[in-house]
Structure 1
Amino acid sequence: MRISRIAHPEGMSFVVVEGGEADGAGATCREIKGHPFGEPEYTGRTWPLADVRLLSPILPSKVVAVGRNYADHVKEVFSKSAEHLPPTIFIKPPTAVVGPGAPIRIPEWATRVEFEGELAIVIGRPCKDVKREDWKSVVRGFTIVNDVSSRDLQFSDGQWARAKGLDSFCPLGPWIETDLDFAELDNLPIKAHLTHDGVTETKQDSNSNQMIKAVPEIVEWISSAFTLLPGDVICTGSPAGTAEMVPGDSIDVEIPGIGHLVNPVERY
């Protein structure tokens, strides 16, 4: 089941996206009554996906992210090995979240801004101290995240809050895939395509089997530190291949079984 949040002529709604192609072409949105965390109860209202606008599928109270979770990415960004720089945890504020198609807006004083296409976990119920073998009991599903990062700020500040937490620096979507067995999570392709001056190039082309901490371990690790609430998002880390993006570019993060998260880049 694909759960999303849409803007339609009468307002905003949570919906289940049904039918159509993998990218949503030809799909229909069925409105959900209330919240999206239990078995959906439908209102009877529907819209063609082509007639509405996809928003971020959820508005989290917090986005908890794992940094340095792919050894090759650690080497390309930090010029050190993962043995010396193991995975770490940081938080992106909810004000950084935007939906599919919304612009990533780069302020003039942020330079070397890079995309980081990642698999994201969406929490389905309040939880704390979850054992790794119980991770499925607290997860609502998976989506795609672009952990936008200003490298100049990341290294000049000495910590990551500003570099990764600016408004629009957390595109999320296009929907939440609730089938927790939709793919082999330890063998899931992750790609990011950069379009610059009309030319599209695949920059990230990796696989979740390169994670240092896998999904069950990530849920255990993060929930040992923070109480997680329904709708909270966990970013599982970026593979290698991140690159600078500039105003006028577009980023397409692709994960089979979930879809594409596409956002343009603008200056403000």
Structure 2
Amino acid sequence: MKLCRFELKSEPGTIRSGMVYDGKIYETDGAEAIGVHEAADVRPLAPVPTPPSIRVFRTDLSETGFVYANPAAVVGPSMVIELPDSGSDYVARSYFGAVIGGTGYQLGEEEAEAVLLGFTLVNILSSKSIEEEDGKSLGRAQDFGIMVGPVITTPDDLDDAMVPTDNGIMYKLSASIRINGDEKGFTNFEDFSLSTVEAVRFASETCTVRSGDLFCIGPIFSDESCAVSKGDEFQFSMERLGMLSTKLG
């Protein structure tokens, strides 16, 4: 199942929710379908508008851990993001996103798996010059653009892509990033060292995880392959999860 939030182009400002199936958007009231829309008639919104928390797990670092990101910086697909003049050397880091659908504290592996609502794509814009200036505090460096979407894909939709590992369930899903139409990176999420279940279990050791929390695991690509500047348009795609497109102003 692919869950979404959207507005009709003919009725902007009215936020609706539903699911995507066979190329159409089925609007629901939470239980029943109340309308069917063509994809061309809707504008997708971030499927998680303002998460209670965003935890960013950096698998390119030597130790398991995470930093918090700003929920107020979340925007949906196909948005234009203005880069701040105070930074430089921008990168668009792509992450595998996991959305929590329950509540739990000090969870075991099976309990951590049970609270997962589904998966989505996340792009976090960051300024490497601000990172260097602020050191380990990444707050300002990634405070101006967190793109989430286009949908939340529930775990049952990926049953045939599951790969059991010592670190929990991984997913055999290919991923790519394009900047201005040129492919800059291609990989498979199966090869990553941290599973979503392990990330949720780890975070719950010291804090209750709550419905709507967003976990980001990555970055999927190297900083060299995802360097961006004003005027660029980049697309992060992952098999079965869709494509997340953003333009930089």
TM-score (norm. length: structure 1): 0.81
* Residues 187, 247 of structure 1: alpha-carbon distance in 2 compared, 3 angstrom cutoff: same
Q: CA deviation at 1:186?
A: 4.1
Show structure 2 runs of 5+ residues with no match: 163-169
Cα deviations by residue, 1:96-118 (Å, 9 ceiling, x for unpaired): 10000012220111211101112
Tell me which residue corresponds to 1:191: 176
Partner of 2:52: 61
User: C-alpha separation between the residues in 2 aligned to 1:252 and 1:125?
Assistant: 30
TM-score by length of 2: 0.87
Match of 1:261 in 2: 244
CA distance in 1, matches of 2:176, 2:187: 6
Deviation (angstroms), 1:7 = 1.3
Q: Deviations over 1:42-72 (max 9, x none)?
A: 25123222111100011211211102x0xxx
In the alignment, the residues of structure 2 paired with residue 240 and residue 176 of structure 1 have an alpha-carbon distance, to the nearest angstrom, of 21
Residue 15 (structure 1) aligned with residue 21 (structure 2): no
What CA RMSD, in Å, does the superposition of the two structures yield over aligned residues? Answer: 1.7
- The share of aligned pairs that are identical, in percent, is 25
Q: How does 1:131-150 map to 2 (within 5 A)?
A: 131-150=108-127
Q: Equivalent residue for 1:241? A: 222
Summarize the alignment of residues 108-257 of structure 1 with structure 2, pairs less than 5 Å apart: 108-158=85-135, 159-166=137-144, 169-180=145-156, 182=158, 183-184=161-162, 185-195=170-180, 200-242=181-223, 243-257=226-240
Unaligned residue ranges in structure 1 (runs of 5+): 21-27, 35-40, 75-81
Q: 1:131 to 1:252 in 2, by over 3 A?
A: same
Deviation of 1:181 after TM superposition, in Å, equals: 5.3
1:106 pairs with 62, 83, 90, which one?
A: 83
**1:31 equivalent among 27, 32, 47:** 27
SS in 1 for 2:236: strand
Moved over 3 A (4+): none
Is the Cα–Cα contact under 8 Å of residues 117 and 191 in structure 1 kept in the other structure?
no
Q: Is the 8 A contact 1:87 1:212 kept in 2?
A: no
